[in-house]
């Protein structure tokens, strides 16, 4: 499941649900009711690189199953043609999230600082993982490292200043700094 360069991944279409054209999704957004609100147009990337657009007719959850209904997709056959599609958006198509919380798409390009203000590197990208999202950092020494975006490691995201502040434990940025089990400082 991938988005094209510069696009934000919102979800993937797993399969049709029922006979009326609803689609079972795999969500990749924390705000599905905002991203899939009725009247919003979504972009779907299909096999072979083809892109189609549909207006959202409805979104609902049945237990932990997210279901999307699109205008013009009214039966199993039409829904089946969208199976495996990836739902994406351009960053400027996304509304701000509640409370002004930063989006994952806002992080690439941010400068990475330590709590003391030392420049550590730059965010190259963000990988979405089940336990925690991971920031792919290009460090000042040219190496690359993945940093979990979880407290207490991630201490601040300041979009106005263009930086992400982390408090890395020993060994996260430099494995040579890690304490060997059984050895004290």
Strands 22-27 and 8-17: antiparallel
Averaged pLDDT of the chain: 86
Place of tokens 């959202």: 56
Distance CA 88, CA 31 (A): 14
Phi and psi torsions of 68, nearest 5°: -120, 135
List pLDDT tens digits, range 73-122.
999 999 999 999 999 988 778 777 666 667 777 888 899 999 999 999 99
Please say if the pLDDT value at position 149 is more than 80. yes
pLDDT at 90: 83
pLDDT at 119: 94
Q: How far apart are the first and last CA of the chain?
A: 44
Cβ neighbourhood burial of 111 (10 Å; 0-12, 13-18, 19+):
middle
> What value does the mean pLDDT take over residues 151-179?
84
- Count, residues in the chain: 185
Which residues contact residue 34 at a Cβ distance below 8 angstroms, ignoring those fewer than 6 apart?
Answer: 95, 97, 98
Please say if the pLDDT value at position 9 is more than 90. no
- pTM (2 d.p.): 0.60
Please say if the pLDDT value at position 182 is more than 50. no
> What value does the mean pLDDT take over residues 171-175?
81
- 61 — pLDDT class (breaks 50, 70, 90): very high
How many C-beta atoms lie closer than 10 Å to residue 178's C-beta?
A: 11
CA distances from 63 to 60, 67, 145, 171 (A): 10, 10, 37, 41
Question: Which has the higher per-residue pLDDT, 96 or 38?
Answer: 38
């Amino acid at each position: 499941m991938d988005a094209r360069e510069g696009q934000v991944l919102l979800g993937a279409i797993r399969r049709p649900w029922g006979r009326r054209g609803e689609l079972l999704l795999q969500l990749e957004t924390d705000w599905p009711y905002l991203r899939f609100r009725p009247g919003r147009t979504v972009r779907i990337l299909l096999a072979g690189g083809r892109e189609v657009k549909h207006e959202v007719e409805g979104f609902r959850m049945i237990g932990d199953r997210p279901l999307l209904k699109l205008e013009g997709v009214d039966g199993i056959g039409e829904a089946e043609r969208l199976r495996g599609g990836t739902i994406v958006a351009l960053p400027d198509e996304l509304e701000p999230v509640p409370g002004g919380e930063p989006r994952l798409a806002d992080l690439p390009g941010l400068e990475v600082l330590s709590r003391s203000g030392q420049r550590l590197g730059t965010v190259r990208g963000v990988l979405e993982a089940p336990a925690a999202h991971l920031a792919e950092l290009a460090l000042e020494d040219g190496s690359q490292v993945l940093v979990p975006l979880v407290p207490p490691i991630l201490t601040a995201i300041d979009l106005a200043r263009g930086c992400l502040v982390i408090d890395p434990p020993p060994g996260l940025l430099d494995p040579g700094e890690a304490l060997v089990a059984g050895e004290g400082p």
